[in-house]
Amino acid sequence: MSRGSHAAHARRSGGSQPRPGSGTRASGGVAGGVSGGFPGKRGATASHGPNRMPAGSQAHPQSRLTVIGAIRSELTKALSLRSTMILMALNALLLPGGAAILAWAYRFMSTVDPRTGKMMAHPEPLPASLMWSAVGGFVSTCMIVVAIFGVMAVTTEYVTSSVQSTLVANPRRVLFLNAKTLVTAVLTFLSSLAGLMLSWLAVHLMLADIGVKALAESERVLPWMTLLGGSAVLTLTAVMAVGCGGVCRSTVGGIFSMIGILMIAPSILSLASFGGDRFRWVQSISRCLPDRAVTNFLTGGVNAGLEGGNVSMSAGGSAVSGASAASAASAASDGVFDPTWWQSGLILLAWVVVIYAIGTLVVKRSDIK
């Protein structure tokens, strides 16, 4: 091999060997790549360790939120509020208290002789249908109580600004409102059913010495309409109030709105009856308001009337007394819309659906301040 070939071979061999100390630097570079020289590589290696958390588990905690969890959370919050206990207790106690007052009034009128005005020694037993009307006599009054409860179920969170933390834990606003509504409805139904059962017991004791006649065949629906129908009416009122609270997001505004729907509007529209035929359409509207719809629905098509101290009943939606029959006939001949009991139930349901839908839309799209 020539001298030039040996020189070229030596240069190539020397270039391929590491310089003194280069092996240490190379090793340090590799070690540095693991221990910190290449942080990206290290992060990738660490991320595939056995203790790595699933992707998105910390960034999106709401992915694990369930409907049951949302309902449990709302139930815990509702039961922790003093206003819940006060309003539900007031609802359960006001129903039997008012029923006892009505039963006493019916008992007194049945013992008075309408011709002489004196007390009768042996009064006739009262119709059972009148007893059930006394049991549910204060349902319309308790609508205000459950309306306040429904409004405060939503507005309390906005007033105290706790809605911000609630929506952090449950950012799905429709689920948040539906869970709150379900809890409100269940508490209202249980409270109302307990109150109406106590009302039946109170009325039964008040009228025990006079006696109560058996229900007629056409009146057998009254116990169901009074106990379950009355509880359902109060529950629907609370749901409507939840929607109203979602629209107003203010306790004062929500309560005033419900009072306006349940009390002020019927009083104002009832004045249209003095306006003659020109305001028939206003009278028809007044009979479609929630308060009137509830009163008509709870009758179940059975109306009670007091005539001369004696109670008379009729089925089918018209009273047998002369004045009541004339009034019903006049309303029919005047062309004023007079819904039946089941139509009144549908009207009340329509009110609830519309107001709750509006409240859901407002809660879903409004900004939290």
Please give the pLDDT value at position 33: 40
Q: Is the Cβ–Cβ distance between 170 and 72 less than 8 Å?
A: no
Q: Largest Cα–Cα distance of the chain, in whole Å?
A: 154
Say if residue 178's pLDDT is above 50: yes
What whole-number percentage of the chain has pLDDT above 70?
A: 74
Q: Is the Cβ–Cβ distance between 94 and 141 less than 8 Å?
A: yes
Backbone angles phi, psi at 123, to 5 degrees: -70, 155
Coil vs helix vs strand at 126 = strand
Q: How far is Cα 134 from Cα 339, in angstroms, rounded to an integer? A: 23
Please give the pLDDT value at position 164: 87
Q: How far is Cα 332 from Cα 341, in angstroms, rounded to an integer? A: 15
Q: How confident is the model at residue 43 (pLDDT cuts 50, 70, 90)?
A: very low
Mean pLDDT (whole number) for 129-133: 91
Say if residue 287's pLDDT is above 60: yes
Contacts of 229 (CB under 8 A, 6+ apart): 136, 297, 298, 300
What is the tens place of the pLDDT at every residue in 44-66? 444 444 444 344 334 444 446 78
